[in-house]
Structure 1
Amino acid sequence: MTHVQRNRVAGILLFLLVQAVYLLTMAPTLSFWDCGEFIATARTLGVPHPPGAPLFLLMGRVFSLFPFFSDIGARVNLLSTLMSSAAVVLTYLITVRLIIICRKDDPDTWSQARQVAHYGGAAVGALALAFSDSFWFNAVETEVYAASTFFTTLVFWLVLRWYQDSSGPGNERWLMAAMYMIGLSIGVHLLSLLVLFAVIMVYWYRRHAVTPFSLLGMAVVATAAFILVYGGVIQGVPFLLRKFSWWGGGALLVVMMAGVWYAHLQRQRVLHTAAMSLLLLVIGYTSYTTIFVRAQAGPPINENDPSTADAFLSYLNREQYGDLPLWPRRWSSEPLHQYYYGKYDSEAEYFFRYQLGQMYVRYFGWQFIGRAHQGSGAPVDLSQLWGLPFLVGILGAVTHARQDWKTGSVVTALFVLTGAALVIYLNQVEPQPRERDYSYVGSFFAFALWIGFGASAIIEKITGLATCSSMKTRLAVVALLPVMLLVPARMLYANYYTHDRSGNYVAWDWAWNILQSCGRDAILFTNGDNDTFPLWYLQEVEGIRQDVRVVNLSLANTPWYLEQLKHSSPRGAKPVSFSLSDQELQEIGYVPMVPVQAELEAGEEQRRLRERSRSIGALPSAEIADTIRWELQPAISFRGQGFLRPQDIAVFDIIMSNFRHRPICFAITVGSDNLIGLKRWLTLEGLAYRLQPMQAPEGETLLDVTRLCNALCGSFRYTNLASEEVFIDETSKRLSGNYKPLFTRLALELAREPERLYTVMAEDGGLVEGSGRQLALHALDRSEDVLPLSLYGMEPELVASVVYLYARFDEKEKAYPYIAYLEKLAEHTTPERSPELYYALALSFSQVGLEEKVEMLRRQLQESSNE
């Protein structure tokens, strides 16, 4: 069997192994963050957030049509698994090719022992990447980072293929293919552009002698090439389109093709290769015409509406996010960011401690040193890797540098540019809304190459102890096994549970539950990605509750979004009425103001709902009114002057224009500062508040008892939240933590009138009648059934409330697990550090009659206060 045949067999086996693992752990539907948006826009060929990912969306659209799974999200997730598996195979092929370049011999002459060492070592590195924390996370959901890594590995493999074939006829085709792939990768994610530096370095080392001046020339050419691609192509082509319409793009193509033809006629191979490569890159980049064309069609999801040349350029340049300064580290003027900046004494400390240490080195450690996961049912020390992948990688880096410093410097450049240098460019503020480890997978890929080198070096060193060839082969196999077990196999074992999403339906259920909390034709204000994108997915992909108009408050700061709300009717949903004209929406901005009194008269629908609530006692503490009166206050203040943000103006105008005709709702994730002063007029009906002409007492929140009970104990879904076999990730667990407080608040409200009879929905969809006492106990029991206290904690005061209710209704035995929960929390703190915990524990002891323990805690609290 030749080297090529061996390589192909090994690559196929690797692909099948990794793909099997990814299929077993793939998310069965959408996940949180951008996944819902990408699946929805792939399915409908919509326009996602800037700068878009048109090629990824086209591929996702194709996969959404394949009937492999009933769930559309799973079909598009499959695309990420396949591209990740292909990237793993390419990582293996790259490592083998680098080893061949370093050894400078013919792999067909390798002994069996060397075959085991080099092929086996390369497989170790590839599998280490496959089962690393961030790469695996990206591989089993619909995000662009799996596809981006695939293109990075493919370009790197193509340029190495050219390196070994650079003297053969037609060798330039490999460089041209690499540049075309870079052009295509722009349609997935811009991170793939950084591999361009590696392409230039490999080319330069092959074509030029190494001198100080040539190295300087290489740096200049690499930087110029990057500027040409990023500034000249990515930003320049849209500029030409804006300046000269499509004639500008056509003229550019004509000039580029003329340059290719001129170089061909003059037999100038270098010029021809460069011109043809640039032309192919631009052709790959033309996937972005999809964004422009689809924006013209006005799909339901059409972010930024890049249907004009100006809007398209703004979209590509990500202008809505603003510019990040490159050198000032603590650059943001927002009060929250300023608060965190104050924790650091200097720019350097902020950079090294937070930006480099917290936001890169920590992530790097997750991949190759170990990470303790604390999810539902996950052992804390499960993911410890003992630092072995890191040590093998360091050995590999040293080995690579010693054997061939040129290709070693190429991998080093890729490692740094997609890691530490990217930290400098991103200039992230503290705090971030989520972990950003996915941004650095290119750096982790580069280190995985060194793990392959290190594993190969270890096996070769051990085989060198034998003298005869047969013994060397056996010894190589014996050496490969523990390396394979201690590095990738250990990573597979350590990370499997926390990366197995096969039973995680939290995002789907969360979106369902929010939509079911809203009335017919409701306008629902949402806060961010996780209470918006999953809803878009259900509406656009699953066709669920398309009557609800989702109004994202972040996007409500932009004129294009408000105009879409006003004029579009996606899937037949009603437009959102505005009193503001189109011109006023275009000019919307920050408005200075002082507090003013606002009034909003109830309509017939609101009066009918109010009377229903009065008749059934759903809102016993509410103050009924015909008109909502409240004080509209500035949302922000700058230099003593108060301002309304564009989103505040939009919310006010939408409420004033639509309240009398359709339900107005706010997702429970919307903060108080975004409610424009209406908090006391909101009624909790599930995972959303509804604006009603009923006012809550000061410091309280109104609950529609029957609607909330119907939601929590009837229509809501909690798939696998109670299963310890299903890992619930941090984001999913944090959002699911909203349910238990709702159950407790419902039970407390029902307990106000324990003998009152209510008619509510049962779990099977039917109607049942129960007293306040019965339904309160049912709510508490249902809470524990679907969200066990052992997996989803609660605030101490809420736990004390549960104990109180169980004790009041003679169910003390059900209260003891909650008391035990508080006692366990108290083991890890002291009264002076957590007095509220100890007060809750003392109150709970008192409710069940454990007075001796109450006295003991009282003494502890007294001693603490005296100190």
Structure 2
Amino acid sequence: KENWDDHDRSHRYTAPAFARNFLNSCLPGGIMFTNGDNDTFPLWYVQEVEGVRTDVRIVNLSYLTADWYIEQMKTTFYDSKALPISMTREQYEQGRRDYAYLVDNAGVLLKEKYQLNKGKYETELMDIYTNLMNILDASLLPKNHAKDYNAIEALKNNMDPLRLYGYMRTVSSAEIAGRINLDEEAMKVEIGRMDRMVKTIDADFAPLKEAVAFLMTEDPRFKQGQYFIPAKKFVIPVDSAKLADWVVPAEFEEARAEEVRFTLSETVLYKNLLTVMDLMGNNDWERPIYYSTTVSSENYLNLEDFFIREGMALRVAPVQFNNSNYLGKVSTGQMYTKLMEEFDWGGLDTPGIYMDENNLRMTIHYRYAFSVLSGALRDEGKLDSAKAVLDECMLHMPEETVPYNAGITPIIQGYFGVGDTATANAMVVKYEKKLESELDYYKILSTSKKFRFSKSGGDFLAAVRDINQLRSMCLGYGEIEASRRLEEKLSNYGADYERLFRY
């Protein structure tokens, strides 16, 4: 009885509500990447037990390293068709292609890379080719080796840089050059130019589908388990004539991209992201692909410039927003409908509801979604709607049931942004007091609960950073008195951190 209030889950339906909200963020037939237990199991529950949105395929990136799970993803379930993954069981079974290096100097897919980036290289490459043909025409090659000469000549209309480079090196070898009276000095110059060009093309963008397809070959260099993808830069082509209307919403038509280009800084990728790349390369924009907003950025493959935020999901689309103020360009109309009218909040506003750590952590994503929508509406000049969104957020997630946490700072900033400084300042004071209380508690631990205190350094620093964020926010919006007050507390608690944890 004494512990009942800490464990009473009555009137709390946040998990299934969360699951429905995330699933209903997706277009029909969608594919959604998730990452952990709390953003996956509730979705599986409502699909398996309640039959909700069984057309959406949930793909847990943590499981996608396992061959048995990839096999499941290649199988049709309920209303969700098998995913377009090209790998066969033999190619992804445990111990094979568990990881692959990204290599941009392997001399692979040169022709495909040249075709993708032709505008950058065609002029110089054809100049090299013209000079080469002049050198060969002055030699005995056309007369004594007409078949070889014709093969080189045919490249004019079907250019393959690697093949051209190979021909140039062959005819310039000591044995052949002397036999055909080749101008070796002139050829040396062109080979030098071609060598530099081949290396440059090799390090350029490659078609994603073909790059992943190479990984699935039995290249002799793979025999020691040293698998690699021959590129670090990739292109997903876009055939506008074949795109369904949903792929590029009318409101983003001006941002339509002719192709999706992305660059990876990693030197190695593991099987889960290799599978994601395989899927994206073979999807051909036929099914919507989403990242749950709970997925961390290291899984994004640097595709952020091509995200559209739809509800609680980020859809990869052939639209490019290099200067978006938020992660994912916001479809304000669609997102407004979802957050303001359709989503179920699972009793978050029920007085006395018990909110444990997992539920509170999920509300950070909810509050952020409201703040993003409000900000996007403010950018469109719709201040009344922007404020209404913030009010709706606080209606469903009031302080009494969802205590202020890191997710509240963008809401406070939103109120400042729409001009409701009274509400913003009141929220600053409340969150400030909560952070002070937490920090003072950690300081008490330092004198009594040494073990618990030793684990609190990260939490202490996070609270100090939130005070600094409030300070910067107030300063930016001209709340000088508040910013000075917070500056003093930041200085004091910062000194406490140095004293207590920098030892």
Q: Which band: TM-score by shorter chain?
A: 0.5 to 0.7
Aligned match for 1:776, one of 386, 410, 435: 386
Paired position in structure 2 for 1:678: 303
Name the counterpart of 1:585.
92
Return the offset for 1:863. Answer: 8.5
Unaligned runs of at least 5 residues, structure 2: 104-230, 441-459, 499-503
- Which position in structure 2 is the counterpart of 1:692? 317
Amino acid at match of 2:340: C
2:273 is equivalent to residue 648 of structure 1: yes
Residues of 2 paired with 1:727 and 1:861: CA distance? 32
Q: Is the 8 A contact 1:606 1:693 kept in 2?
A: no
Output the CA distance in 2 between the equivalents of 1:589 and 1:850. 54
For the residues of structure 2 that align with 1:556 and 1:860, how far apart are their CA atoms?
46
Partner of 1:529, secondary structure, is coil
For 1:653 and 1:718, how far apart are their aligned partners in 2?
36
TM norm structure 2? 0.61
Output the CA distance in 2 between the equivalents of 1:536 and 1:800.
Answer: 31
Residues 597, 863 of structure 1: alpha-carbon distance in 2 compared, 3 angstrom cutoff: same
Distance 1:700 1:588 in 2: 35
Relative to structure 1, the CA distance from residue 612 to residue 852 in structure 2 (aligned partners, 3 Å threshold; closer, same or farther) is same
SS of the equivalent of 2:286 reads: coil
- C-alpha deviation, 1:794, in angstroms: 5.0
Q: Is the 8 A contact 2:259 2:318 kept in 1?
A: yes
Let me know the Cα RMSD of the aligned residues: 3.1
Counterpart contact for 1:684–1:690, Cα < 8 Å: yes
User: Aligned partner of 1:518: which letter?
Assistant: C
SS of residue paired to 1:610: coil
Q: Does 1:600 align with 2:232?
A: no
1:682/1:691 contact within 8 Å kept: yes
Q: Distance in 2 between matches of 1:499 and 1:855?
A: 41
Separation in 1 of the partners of 2:494 and 2:338?
A: 44
TM superposition shift of 1:598 = 0.8
Bigger share in helix: 1
Offset of residue 534 of structure 1: 1.8
Contact 1:628 1:681 in 2 (8 A): yes
1:78-477 mapped onto 2 (5 Å cutoff): none
Equivalence for 2:248: 610
Give the count of matched residue pairs.
Answer: 342
Indicate conservation of the 8 Å contact 1:521/1:662, yes or no: yes
Tell me by how many angstroms 1:518 deviates: 0.8
Distance change (3 Å), C-alpha of 1:627 and 1:501: same
The Cα of 1:612 is off from its aligned counterpart by 1.2
Contact 1:514–1:688 (8 Å) recurs in 2? yes
**Partner Cα separation in structure 2 for residue 735 and residue 503 of structure 1:** 17
Residues 351, 400 of structure 2: 8 Å contact kept: no
Change (3 A) 1:690 1:794: farther
Match of 2:430 among 817, 821, 827: 821
Distance 1:652 1:801, change over 3 A: closer
Matched, 1:569 2:205: no
| Amino acid across the alignment from 2:235 | E
Q: In the alignment, what sits opposite 1:627?
A: 259
Going from structure 1 to structure 2, the CA distance change for 1:720 and 1:593 (only over 3 Å counts) comes to: same
CA distance in 2, matches of 1:670, 1:841: 26
Partners of 1:843 and 1:854 within 8 A in 2: yes
Secondary structure at the aligned position of 1:737 is classed as helix
Q: Any idea what SS the aligned residue of 2:235 has?
A: strand
CA drift at 1:739: 0.5
**Which letter does structure 2 place at the counterpart of 1:665?**
Y
Distance apart, 1:606 and its partner CA: 6.3
Indicate whether 1:517 and 2:143 are aligned.
no
- The residue number in structure 2 matching 1:412 is none
Give CA-to-partner distance per residue, 1:485-518, whole Å, 9 cap, x none: xxxxxxx2x2111222221211111111110011
Call closer, same or farther: CA 1:855–1:677 in 2, change over 3 Å: closer
Deviation at 1:838, TM superposition (A): 4.0
Q: Is the 8 A contact 1:623 1:697 kept in 2?
A: no
The one of 393, 397, 422 equivalent to 1:787 is: 397
| RCO higher in structure (CA 8 A, sep ≥6) | 2
Q: Which amino acid aligns with 2:79?
A: G
Give 1:526 deviation, angstroms.
1.6
- Read off the aligned partner of 2:281 and give its amino acid letter: M
| Aligned-partner residue type, residue 262 of structure 2 | W
- 1:547 has 2:55 as partner: yes
Change (3 A) 1:800 1:580: closer
CA distance 1:697–1:827, shift in 2 (3 Å): same
For residue 627 of structure 1, report the CA deviation from its aligned partner.
Answer: 0.7
Instruction: Provide the rounded CA distance (Å) in 2 between the counterparts of 1:847 and 1:592.
Output: 45
Contact 1:506 1:718 in 2 (8 A): yes
SS at match of 2:402: coil
What is the CA–CA distance in structure 2 between the aligned matches of 1:705 and 1:806, rounded to whole Å? 18
> Contact conserved, 2:326 with 2:372, CA < 8 A, in 1?
no
1:633–1:676 Cα contact (<8 Å) kept: no
The one-letter code of the counterpart of 1:613 is E
Q: Name the CA distance, whole Å, in 2 between partners of 1:608 and 1:720.
A: 33
Q: 1:606 to 1:677 in 2, by over 3 A?
A: farther
One-letter amino acid matched to 1:626: E
Q: Secondary structure at the match of 2:90?
A: helix
Q: Please state whether the residue corresponding to 1:740 is helix, strand or coil.
A: helix
Give the distance between the partners of 2:37 and 2:471, measured in 1 at CA: 40
Give distance in 2, aligned partners of 1:660 and 1:502.
Answer: 43
- In structure 1, C-alpha distance between the alignment counterparts of 2:331 and 2:376, rounded to whole Å: 9
Greater C-alpha radius of gyration: 1
Alpha-carbon distance in 2 for matches of 1:801, 1:535: 27
Alignment-mate amino acid for residue 297 of structure 2: S
Q: Distance in 2 between matches of 1:799 and 1:572?
A: 38
Report SS of the residue matched to 1:592: strand
CA distance in 2, matches of 1:532, 1:836: 30
* Deviation sequence 1:561-585 (CA, Å, 0-9, x none): 222322x222232111222234323
TM-score (normalised: structure 1): 0.36
Distance in 1 between residues matched to 2:401 and 2:307, nearest whole Å: 30
Q: Which residue of 1 aligns with 2:37?
A: 529
Pick from 333, 338, 343 the counterpart of residue 716 of structure 1: 343
Shift of the alpha carbon at 1:858? 4.9
- Could you give the per-residue CA deviations for residues 156-179 of structure 1, whole angstroms, max 9, x where no partner exists? xxxxxxxxxxxxxxxxxxxxxxxx
3-state SS, counterpart of residue 530 of structure 1:
coil
User: Per-residue displacement from partner, 1:261-299 (whole Å, max 9, x unpaired)?
Assistant: xxxxxxxxxxxxxxxxxxxxxxxxxxxxxxxxxxxxxxx
1:508 aligned residue? 16
CA shift in 2, pair 1:748/1:606, >3 Å: farther
- Which of 731, 743, 750 does residue 370 from structure 2 map onto? 743
Partner SS state of residue 676, structure 1: coil
- Partner in structure 1 of residue 359 of structure 2: 732
Give distance in 1, aligned partners of 2:481 and 2:99.
60
